[in-house]
Amino acid sequence: MKVASPGVGWRVRLREDLAAARHRDPAARSTPELLLAYPGLHAVWIHRLANRLWRVPVLRLAARVISNLGRTMTGIEIHPGATIGRRFFIDHGMGVVIGETAEVGDDVMIYHGVTLGGRSMSHGKRHPTLEDGVTVGAGARILGPVTVGAGAQVGANAVVVRDVPAGAVVVGVPGRVRELPPTVTPTEADHIDPAIWI
């Protein structure tokens, strides 16, 4: 998983975020609408500020306050310690929770009600890693220090507590890997709507 380099300026990231939202949401009509009325974008932008502060130990309280304000404004809770890649898009967003040690790669999309949570009270890595190009359906729970491989899809309301191979589709409670239809190639798997699997 690649995490965006610190040398990438905020204007580049802003343009990437807007392009990613426009590409992934057919309801997006204009740039002003995206800038003003997309809480998923706002939550990511607030997280970037909070995460920058989180990296300075004496500013961690300020990071938590900014993160909490972001949750109040958007209904999306992203811990300031979480690592978020480029072009991350949260569609609708209400009820999304992303824990402190979660890692989200580039070009990841998640829907409302998703939890990237922990399963233990121990210190250290306790939240999931989503590699590049992962899609997570509405209401899914990915719990513990599991890895969801690049291009994998997690169906709506699935509960994932084990690693998911790259390109797989996971459904159910507990989540289980479901094979792709024979007509779908691994590159096409990146564009399958996880809602069709339940």
Which residues participate in catalysis according to the annotation?
112
CB-neighbour burial class of residue 173 (10 A; exposed 0-12, middle 13-18, buried 19+): exposed
Q: Pick the closest to residue 116 from 98, 129, 138 (CA basis).
A: 98
Q: Which helix (H) or strand (E) holds 177?
A: strand 176-178
Residue with tokens 């992934």: 24
- Residue 187, sorted as left (phi over 0), alpha (psi -120 to 50) or beta, turns out to be alpha
- Give Cα separations from 7 to 10, 16, 20, 38, 62 (angstroms): 9, 15, 20, 26, 23
Tokens linked to 17: 């975020």
Sheet with 129-130: strands ordered across = 83-84, 103-104, 129-130, 147-148
Residues shown for the chain? 198
